[in-house]
Amino acid sequence: MQSAWDAQGHSAEVLKHLMLGIIGVCTLIWLLVVLMLFAALVKRRGQAPLQGEHAERKTRLVVYLSVAVTTIIVAGLTLASFFATRDLVVGRDMDLTVRIKGQQWWWQVTYEGSSFGPRFQTANELHIPVGRNVRLELESIDVIHSFWVPSLAGKQDMIPGRMNVLTLRAERPGVYRGQCAEFCGLQHSHMALMVVAQDDDQYRRWAQAQALDAAVPDDTEVQAGRAVFMRKPCAACHTVRGTEAQGSSGPDLTHVGGRRTIAAGLLETTRGSLAAWTADPQTLKPGTNMPIVPLTSEELQQVSAYMETLK
Ligand SMILES: [Cu+2]
């Protein structure tokens, strides 16, 4: 589920409580106002307004009281909001640092080396250990994007030439969907990101495997697919670590077959979707920065088989 109400991370919980508090207080006030309005309508029907010194004193008292109550409520909400926001940014010990670069229309994800694993790069899927503070360094290489995983934390803009920082901490294991939250061009709505929160051991195993180079294929079809990939322009835009493919204008494909989705959440990763995407990315995601690379149907089969094995 992708919803700020389904809070599964520390920041999201803080924000959810703040929202509930503000909505609760405002609902109460609204109900009171409506109630008083009705009371006034019913009571005053047909009566002349009160006059005299007594009535004036009473009116003044009501005005003073209302001003005082309003001031207290507004100050209270401001303070609540201040403390909640402060809680999101106060320095905590960070367990892991990940740099995420937004670009039209996918996410480049680079893990810094830590006690949890070595440095490596991937795309469109972020794995984090549950209960750990993860420092995200958010950047953009083209236009303004916004990193938003509603179940885990609030939004943070990704601005070219500037680094913004956001802390993520998932309280429970799960897969949380994120979405670019700042209109960034034609395929803005197809710029999703999966966050997989897993326990320490699972996370470590995943990170170790991600840091490895791509496996060397032994199957002949897969070997042929690899040759196609290296011969065609694919290798100029994509990196497959351990091979001569070292391009960087597209997502790192070293372990693409192990990701849940391709093209930033557009399609579930299967051999079929890899083939469909490679055959015609411009129909599936019009305007995307991956061109159609002409392939024979045999080459397409082979290259899809190759990508599927990149786990
Ligand atoms: Cu975007």
Domain ranges for the chain: 96-200, 220-308
Contact status, residue 130 vs residue 173, Cβ threshold 8 Å: yes
What is this structure's pTM?
Answer: 0.89
Ligand 1 midpoint to CA 263 (Å): 13
The whole-chain average pLDDT of the chain stands at 93
Phi, psi of 202 (to 5 degrees): -60, -45
Which of 71-80, 91-100, 249-258 is predicted with the least confidence, judged by mean pLDDT?
91-100
What's the pLDDT at 46?
64
Q: What percent of the chain has pLDDT over 90?
A: 85
Q: What is the pLDDT of residues 141-167, one digit of tens each?
A: 999 999 999 999 999 999 999 999 999
Give all strands (DSSP E) within 134-173, no chain letters: 134-140, 145-147, 156-158, 164-168
pLDDT band of 56, cuts 50, 70, 90: confident
The percent of residues above 70 in pLDDT, for the chain, comes to: 97
Cβ neighbours for 107, distance < 8 A, ≥ 6 positions apart: 100, 101, 123, 124, 126, 191, 193, 264
Query: How many angstroms does the Cα of residue 106 sit away from the middle of ligand 1?
Result: 7
Q: What's the 177 CA to ligand 1 centre distance in angstroms?
A: 14
Report the distance separating Cα 226 and Cα 90, nearest Å: 48
Each residue of 163-183: pLDDT tens digit?
999 999 999 999 999 999 999
> What whole-number distance in Å separates Cα of residue 308 and Cα of residue 311?
7
pLDDT exceeds cutoff 90 at 202:
yes
CATH top class, domain 96-200: mainly beta
Give the homologous superfamily in CATH for domain 220-308.
Cupredoxins -  blue copper proteins (2.60.40.420)
Gap from CA of 142 to ligand 1 centroid (Å): 9
CB under 5 Å of ion ligand 1: residues: 145, 180, 184, 191
pLDDT bracket for residue 300 (50, 70, 90): very high
213 alpha carbon to ligand 1 midpoint, in Å? 29
- Ligand 1 center to residue 188 CA distance, Å? 5
| Contact yes or no for 149/114 (Cβ under 8 A) | no
Q: In CATH terms, are 96-200 and 220-308 the same topology?
A: yes
